[in-house]
Structure 1
Amino acid sequence: MTATLPREAAAPPVSVTRAYRFELLKLLSHWRIRLLLLACWIAPGLFVAGVSVQSTLPSDTLFGRWMHATGWAGPLVVLGFAGTWALPLLTSVVAGDVFAAEDRLGTWRHLLVAVRSPRRIFAAKALAALTVVLLLVAGLAASGTVGGLTAVGDQPLVGLDGHLISPGDAAAKVLLAWTAALAPTLALAAIGLLGSVALGRSPTGLLLPPLVALAMSVAQMLPLPVAVRLALPGSAFVSWNGLFTAPAQLTPLLIGIAVSLLWAVLATALAHHLFLRRDFTDLAYDGGGRRALTTGLLPMAGLLALSVAVIAVTAPSAGITRAKVQASLATAFAHLYRMQTGQLHRPAVTEAQLRASAACTKSDGLAAQEGPGNDWRCVVTWHLPGAAVAGTAVYQLDVGSDGRYVADGDGPKEVNGYFLVRTETGDAPNPLWQFDGNVELLDTTSKG
């Protein structure tokens, strides 16, 4: 008769909370993560404060021309740069390497023995990467805001349609803009997780978020259909501009946020699926190969096609038309004319009294009167109370594919032909000389 020994009870898996703390401390112990955190919490503030006191401003950047006037322009300039360059690189360093690092170091066996649950390992690593990414984004926003307010102060901000936004409203809109930018950042982070899992130690996984962001940035500059533009997860990096018009252009922003979150969920789910199916006993594992392509790339392409179809049906668009350009320019001019009137201490007028209108032509009327281009020429007409003759001013417009345009004054000199106006206290920047505007690409404008 053979005696059988009772089997020792299997040790339970480590909790997600403990695994998350371990992964977070492991990330924060890396010198490059600490350096990035330090840079994100200090560098934007120093940059904004330094630029704000210079004689030249980054006028080719959205809100850059107002960095002398208000501290709230600084964090928006930082946001414009971060959406194009900083955030894709940050998500690459953090999320794009969180799984691949274990492959390079050959530590999967030790981690599996310690935690005893691949699902909990994935959850802990994903949450730790998300936490670090949120800390980096918070640092960029807070540092840029503190730098701007310290160097310039808490003055009203000029919106994209020329109207003044009070400091309190400006603070709320800046916060909303940075919050909206979290959605495409999460999408890039999820793509980084997917690349880190699917491609193993290959450097391609680390480069995946910036490559995707670069492709989306190039696509935003092309004259693509509006439905395709809004179906890209990076559209929210652009459509936050609509928060700074009156009324706010919220529909493109909400669509961009929803699309970005869908990409984030799908990419994370695909990464989770691939992670659970991988063979951890293969010490030479170097990515999933064809399975990574079919399981990772094809579902994302399917989501893009589905998003384009849904947006095309549910969100009617007219693109950039002459009527929209004229209406946007006339509105911005009226608001900024009132600002110039205040600078020159002339009798106050209202937008209703000015009755500003614009007549625009593209390519001297020889081409279709719609679409982006730097060949828009507009004549703005306005009326002053008691004046028998209407005033006119000429503008050259450079309209981008995303609807943003730069209006460059072309005379008369006393209105918009020079970058300074002479006031009682000295020369001051002329708000009508050159300004930014925004044409909504959709037919409807959300009230807000």
Structure 2
Amino acid sequence: MTATIAADRAADTRRVSVARGYRFELVKLVSQWRIRLLVLACWVAPALFVAAVSQQSSLPVDTLFGRWMHATGWAGPLVTLGFSGTWALPLLTSVVAGDVFAAEDRLGTWRHLLVAVRSPRRIFAAKALSSLTVILLLVAGLACSSAAGGVVAVGNQPLVGLDGHLLTPGGAAGTTLLAWVCVLAPTLALAAIGLLGSVALGRSPMGLLLPALVALAMQLAQMLPLPVAVRLALPGYTFIAWNGLFTSPRQLGPLLIGIVVSLVWAVIATALAYLLFLRRDFTNLTYEGSGRRALTVGALPLVGLLAVTVGVVSVATPATGSGIEQEKLQRSVATAFAHLYRMQTEQLNRPDVTEEQLKATATCNKGGGKLTPEGPGNDWRCVVSWHLPDVEAAGSAIYQLDVTPDGRFVADGDGPKEVNGYFLVQTPTGDAPNPLWQFDGNVELLHTTKG
């Protein structure tokens, strides 16, 4: 009898495994009504949005790939990805990771959890893994739902890349999936910052808002004419750098740097949250946050990490200044024009011509030639010239460009009318969108790719 009682007491004092704690925390998360609503919204709303917008007469042409939502179902998930990186993913990480520890402070349930699990380390691991699982579920919902809505509403058609080249339906599907996978890195960085804020600030609402505020600050920074090294060193740059997957050849340099920086931020922020969690006093029922320790152990190391990443990227990359240079822009515009000219030729049932035969070139200046031809701005002007086989006179077209600090540009056709001066072209089967009227492009910030 005594042996049985001793065995029961030993079983009672045995620590709960991480796996059991993870299942318990996951059930706690998905039982919350706001989490269930988020899961439902992420798996349903993008499909409805993409299907509805694809059937409208006016498209979100100011959004990357928005102008192609009538042409292919794979433009929809990319429009959703752009919106998600700006707004949805920061808010989702705030709601999930930014509240996973603070909820216990508001409810006053830490002592019950500690008695049940008997290990702060296992509690931290269980909560971090459960929040990560929910975030991955939400991201998967956004990607799958938007892709399904686009393909069902428009169809599995080829996609026009950022340099005008045509991706096959299979290539568009694979590249779109890869783009969504890449943005998991900055999402993990924001989630880790949310964990840090939730641990350091306790029941304060600032912990819940921290990932969204950090994401907003990074977005504002990306709008400024920052040096390339500073831009790439921000953990949210991958939310922009996935654009390089849709050029040929792919602009992988900025993307890989952005992924590495984001993962480093995710690891460091999670480690800081772990250290703060192990040091906190769970006997204080009125705990309001770590105070000065949150600054010294939480914020200051992240500021130092930013300085280190800026220094490392500055040394490792050859680009200086904004990275937007006249030669790079001219090459990007000429390449995109050549690809899209072939598309227009096919629309009009004209004899096929290759990019090598066209020999398209672009001459660009800024501010009418009065400003130094570098950096972002909406005062770029390009004249594109090309040659057709057996035609002595060269063709030319004018474009007004708006180049953003992150290297993306929109080229707006300014004549002649039969080439790029009107948004429709007359084809044998009726009017169709003119691919040369307006098009999006991307300047590679790190180095010039010969192509």
How far, CA to CA, are the matches of 1:432 and 1:167 in structure 2?
Answer: 22
Q: Which residue of 2 aligns with 1:82?
A: 84
List runs of 5+ in structure 2 lacking aligned partners: 1-5
How far, CA to CA, are the matches of 1:191 and 1:420 in structure 2?
Answer: 48
Q: Which residue of 2 aligns with 1:376?
A: 380
Q: What whole-Å deviation, never above 9, does each CA across 1:127-168 have from its counterpart, x for those lacking one? A: 000000000000000000000000011111000000000111
Conserved 8 A contact 1:70-1:157: yes
1:342 aligns with 2:349: no
Conserved 8 A contact 2:22-2:127: yes
How far, CA to CA, are the matches of 1:414 and 1:364 in structure 2?
Answer: 24
Conserved 8 A contact 1:248-1:446: no
1:444 CA displacement: 5.4
How far, CA to CA, are the matches of 2:305 and 2:238 in structure 1?
Answer: 17
1:365 CA displacement: 1.3
How far, CA to CA, are the matches of 1:388 and 1:240 in structure 2?
Answer: 41
Question: CA 1:212–1:11 in 2, change beyond 3 Å: closer, same or farther?
Answer: same
Q: Which residue of 2 aligns with 1:395?
A: 399
Alignment of 1:130-145 (within 5 A): 130-145=132-147
How far, CA to CA, are the matches of 2:44 and 2:19 in structure 1?
Answer: 30
Conserved 8 A contact 1:340-1:432: yes
Conserved 8 A contact 1:239-1:253: yes
How far, CA to CA, are the matches of 1:251 and 1:175 in structure 2?
Answer: 19
Conserved 8 A contact 2:42-2:142: yes
Alignment of 1:148-163 (within 5 A): 148-163=150-165
- 1:43 aligned to 42, 45, 55, which one? 45
How far, CA to CA, are the matches of 2:34 and 2:180 in structure 1?
Answer: 24
Conserved 8 A contact 2:47-2:150: yes
How far, CA to CA, are the matches of 1:262 and 1:19 in structure 2?
Answer: 26
Question: CA 1:183–1:49 in 2, change beyond 3 Å: closer, same or farther?
Answer: same
Q: Which residue of 1 aligns with 2:438?
A: 434
SS at match of 2:363: strand
SS at match of 1:381: strand
Q: Which residue of 2 aligns with 1:108?
A: 110
Q: Percentage identity across aligned positions?
A: 76
SS at match of 1:234: coil
**Please, what is the CA RMSD of the aligned residues?**
1.4
SS at match of 1:421: strand
SS at match of 2:287: coil
SS at match of 1:74: helix
1:307 aligns with 2:309: yes
Alignment of 1:29-428 (within 5 A): 29-318=31-320, 319-428=323-432
SS at match of 2:327: helix
1:419 CA displacement: 0.4
Q: Which residue of 2 aligns with 1:12?
A: 14
1:446 CA displacement: 10
How far, CA to CA, are the matches of 1:253 and 1:61 in structure 2?
Answer: 20
Conserved 8 A contact 1:410-1:416: yes
1:367 CA displacement: 1.3
Question: CA 1:445–1:256 in 2, change beyond 3 Å: closer, same or farther?
Answer: farther
For 1:406, the aligned partner's letter is V
Q: Which residue of 1 aligns with 2:3?
A: none
1:387 CA displacement: 1.0
How far, CA to CA, are the matches of 2:392 and 2:93 in structure 1?
Answer: 60
How far, CA to CA, are the matches of 1:445 and 1:347 in structure 2?
Answer: 30
Q: Which residue of 2 aligns with 1:3?
A: none
SS at match of 1:192: helix
How far, CA to CA, are the matches of 2:362 and 2:450 in structure 1?
Answer: 24
Conserved 8 A contact 1:404-1:436: yes
SS at match of 1:407: strand
Conserved 8 A contact 2:196-2:298: yes
1:368 CA displacement: 1.1
How far, CA to CA, are the matches of 1:165 and 1:310 in structure 2?
Answer: 35
How far, CA to CA, are the matches of 2:226 and 2:16 in structure 1?
Answer: 49
How far, CA to CA, are the matches of 1:235 and 1:395 in structure 2?
Answer: 28
SS at match of 2:397: strand
How far, CA to CA, are the matches of 1:308 and 1:63 in structure 2?
Answer: 31
How far, CA to CA, are the matches of 2:83 and 2:199 in structure 1?
Answer: 28
How far, CA to CA, are the matches of 1:20 and 1:417 in structure 2?
Answer: 60
For 2:416, the aligned partner's letter is P
How far, CA to CA, are the matches of 1:290 and 1:260 in structure 2?
Answer: 26
Q: What whole-Å deviation, never above 9, does each CA across 1:255-296 have from its counterpart, x for those lacking one? A: 000000000000000000000000000000000011101100
Q: What whole-Å deviation, never above 9, does each CA across 1:6-49 have from its counterpart, x for those lacking one? A: 99647121000000000000000000000000000000000000
List runs of 5+ in structure 1 lacking aligned partners: 1-5
For 2:168, the aligned partner's letter is S
1:226 CA displacement: 0.2
For 1:335, the aligned partner's letter is H
Q: What whole-Å deviation, never above 9, does each CA across 1:375-421 have from its counterpart, x for those lacking one? A: 00010000011112110000000000000000000000110000000
Q: Which 4+ runs in 1 deviate beyond 4 A?
A: 6-10, 444-447
How far, CA to CA, are the matches of 1:388 and 1:51 in structure 2?
Answer: 45
Number of corresponding residues: 443
TM-score, length basis structure 1: 0.97
TM-score, length basis structure 2: 0.97
